[in-house]
């Protein structure tokens, strides 16, 4: 299954990337994440594992697979989560909009799930996680951060 969402972020690429590049900084801008910590590795090193506590009481463990300061993206997988998915790999990419001081945020993933879960996973991953996260990121870029 492929889930794709995009959004215009009201800040230049340098500001956006500064906000998102640390793998353990997601709780600052994503309202669904109450805490994030690196279990092994560091905030920008591929192979690092982060633990996320979510507002609904669940937790995620994810591995940073790739991070590019040149191309402004990071890719990660899910090791453990409450989601009924397998083989989840996601990329969060940022592209400068050259005609303005804005950035295109792109968040997408590929994973497997049971056919009976597909519509719900499209909604949860695409709308709740990706759009919800990018709305929070946009607010934080405007000075309204979570913490």
Query: For the chain, which residues make up each domain, given as ranges?
Result: 2-141
CB 136 within 8 A of CB 30: yes
The CA-based angle 73-101-129, given to 5 degrees, is 45
Q: Given pLDDT bands bounded at 50, 70 and 90, which one contains residue 29? A: very high
The mean pLDDT value for 30-37 works out to 96
Predicted pLDDT of residue 147: 57
- pLDDT beyond 90 at 127: yes
The residue with tokens 């940073």 is 64
Strands (E), the chain: 2-9, 33-40, 49-54, 59-68, 73-80, 86-97, 102-112
Q: Which CATH class is domain 2-141?
A: alpha beta
C-alpha–C-alpha distance, residues 13 and 63, integer Å = 24
Residue-averaged pLDDT of the chain = 97
53-91: pLDDT as tens digits? 999 999 999 999 999 999 999 999 999 999 999 999 999
- pLDDT beyond 80 at 96: yes
The mean pLDDT value for 104-114 works out to 98
| Burial of 134 per CB tally in 10 Å (0-12, 13-18, 19+) | buried
């Amino acid at each position: 299954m492929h889930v794709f969402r995009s959004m215009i972020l009201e800040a230049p690429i340098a500001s956006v990337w500064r906000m998102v590049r640390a793998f353990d900084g997601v709780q600052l801008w994503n309202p669904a994440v109450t805490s994030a910590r690196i279990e092994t590795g560091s905030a920008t090193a591929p192979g690092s594992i982060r633990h996320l506590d979510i507002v609904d009481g669940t937790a995620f463990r994810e591995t940073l697979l790739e991070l590019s300061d040149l191309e402004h993206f990071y890719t990660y997988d899910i090791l453990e989560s409450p989601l009924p998915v397998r083989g989840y790999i996601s990329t969060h990419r940022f592209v400068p909009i050259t005609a303005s001081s804005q950035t295109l945020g792109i968040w997408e993933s590929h994973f497997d799930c049971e056919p009976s879960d597909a519509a719900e996973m499209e909604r949860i991953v695409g709308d709740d996680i990706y759009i919800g996260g990018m709305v929070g990121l946009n607010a934080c870029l405007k000075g309204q951060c979570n913490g």
